[in-house]
Homo-oligomer: A and B are copies of this chain.
Amino acid sequence: MSVQERKERERAGRERLIVAVARELAEQQGWDAVTTRRLAERIEYSQPVLYSHFRGKREIIGAVALEGAAEMAAALRAAARAEDGPHKRVAALARAYLDFAERNPAVYDAMFQLDGGLAFAREDTPEPLKDGFAALLESLGEVAGDGVHPGLFTEVFWASLHGLATLTRAGRLPPQDTEARVELLVDRLAVI
């Protein structure tokens, strides 16, 4: 039994290594540079080994996305917890979101721009994704306003942040006024 357990441990370790290397490579040189050949070379195995862990490149992107979602949820909760009062909390949340997107562009892409083969907004949505949305909902629910469904409000707020994050990073919005845009968004959307 012990032999098999050891093998499973090694396999799990190698799988974590694949995801970590994919993420690192993506952050360093962009997802285009994450080819199966390069990935295989970096983990010091041949290409087909990747396919014994993942069905394809898409699934590797999906694994990075899940890892990122868990981290983002934690970062959002930490930022919200550090502030008193709904308004300050929401502002901190928004900044933390955009900060995460800016600091981890490749991970953010894996989560929201690329196709990682993950289900969203459904029953079978993976737990880390649901939890990321929940982390937003926790702070945003209290500023949704009377008669507005908290979930719907969270969706709108999230979409707005997502728009700011992606357009800024793609050079579609000038980078200098980021802070002013966040303030405007929070002041208008959040009630009290």
How many monomers of this protein are in the complex? 2
Using an 8 Å CB-CB cutoff, how does the interface string of A127-170 with B read, 1 for contact, 0 for none?
00000000000000000000010001101101111111011001
Asked if A185 is at the interface (CB within 8 A of a chain B CB), the reply is yes
Classify chain A's interface size: 20 to 34
Chain B nearest CB, measured from A78 CB (Å): 23
Which residues does chain B contribute within 8 Å of A51, judged by CB atoms?
none
A residues at B contact (CB < 8 Å): 112-113, 119-121, 148, 152-153, 155-156, 158-164, 166-167, 170-174, 177, 180-181, 184-185, 188-189
Residue pairs across A and B with Cβ atoms less than 8 A apart, 14 shown, are A113-B113, A120-B170, A120-B172, A120-B173, A152-B180, A152-B181, A155-B177, A159-B181, A160-B160, A160-B163, A162-B163, A162-B166, A166-B166, A188-B189
